[in-house]
Structure 1
């Protein structure tokens, strides 16, 4: 098997696994894809491949529920801040220093996995939401632009608001969708988004959807909490290795 075939096989396997994780746990496709691909290729190249699978699966997650209008009305200031922060932060991904971006991606993975594994559930008072949401959005955008990972600190924050299940799932879908579009825009504005990668990114949607289907089918046969715990442990190890790699 030649190098190109090996590369394409690695991409396909990565998105099958990332889709499987999302199918079992309800989230994690961008994080897994960036984590695994970022260990094989530059985070910039990995972010380019992520655009189409992330966009399609998260739009699906957003529109599948009954409260799209409510979620948009409540969180539009946060989404606007995410977009601004992501476009501004994309300069780190496009800066060409792979040691910095790989280390930053590793730090984001460690923060996400460590928080999810060990932190207690926070609760944000409703009176803080009007000013805290845009702040969280801006920080999330900067992290997204610099690493291609959409989850920190938006996911813990949205979970801390005590949203009903459907509202939480749709809010996460909205946040991830805005992050995906803004990341593509940030890369394109800096001339770092190769249109040729759009076709490869679109092809990656197929294994991602296959993985999601497999994960959803397996959800009732395995313990999602146990699977999620071991997945986070693996993500913590991977992130630590990426964080330390520039120092070794």
Structure 2
């Protein structure tokens, strides 16, 4: 099992290093083949936190971003505390189904999103709502993507601002996820920080390899294959949980 976990995080890190995203989505999707979403989410804490903080502080201007996006961050915190969705490992509705739907939507978004409409004029009142949904889905699936990523991209930020803004949102959501998992253990399953720390090293190695791959292949083609794979895999998870196949 340790070898499988190392392989998963190396692959997820490579994808993140190549296209700049995808580590939590790929990790959660593959790990839940053999372990529960709750267990998989506990392994994400250290790799996600380290890579997100790295992404956040790479360019500076962090306080400026916090002042601008505090309603979004507050929404994430509130959503993670009072989620409208069944949370990881709790409730009758299996988190695998919701995770599958999230991955499929993420893949479809990546495949078909072209020029996002500029929602900058509506940022103030959209931010808390988007943040709340993002936080609620984080503690329900272990992944924060929809609707936070599309929303930040719709603000038409400069490239470095967008990367840092995503890092900021991901960092806060990962902290919220860590607190949730710590306070809501299932049976004897709690956050395994030792194994999560072990997972950090293949993730970082994968990111390093991904940056090398980025300059050798077409990033656009790689992105299409990646997002198409998420659609197929997420759809399979969704229909399998409902007993269709």
Normalised TM-score (structure 2): 0.93
Alignment partners' CA distance in 1, 2:100 and 2:79: 20
Offset of 1:196 from its aligned partner? 6.0
Show the counterpart of 2:4.
10
1:213 matched to 2:213? The reply is: no
Offset of 1:194 from its aligned partner? 4.7
1:173 matched to 2:162? The reply is: no
Show the counterpart of 2:226.
231
1:66 matched to 2:69? The reply is: no
Q: Residues 7-65 of structure 1: CA distance to partner in whole angstroms, max 9, x if unpaired?
A: 11110000000000000001111111111112221111100000000000000000011
Say if 2:89 and 2:95, in contact at 8 Å, map to a contact too.
no
Offset of 1:120 from its aligned partner? 3.6
Show the counterpart of 1:162.
156
SS of the equivalent of 2:117 reads: coil
Show the counterpart of 2:46.
52
Alignment partners' CA distance in 2, 1:70 and 1:96: 39
Say if 2:37 and 2:89, in contact at 8 Å, map to a contact too.
no
Alignment partners' CA distance in 1, 2:140 and 2:94: 9
Q: Mind listing any 5+ residue stretches in structure 1 that lack a counterpart?
A: 1-6
Query: Which has the larger share of helix?
Result: 1
Q: Mind listing any 5+ residue stretches in structure 2 that lack a counterpart?
A: none
Q: How many residues align?
A: 241
Correspondence for 1:76 among 47, 70, 73: 70
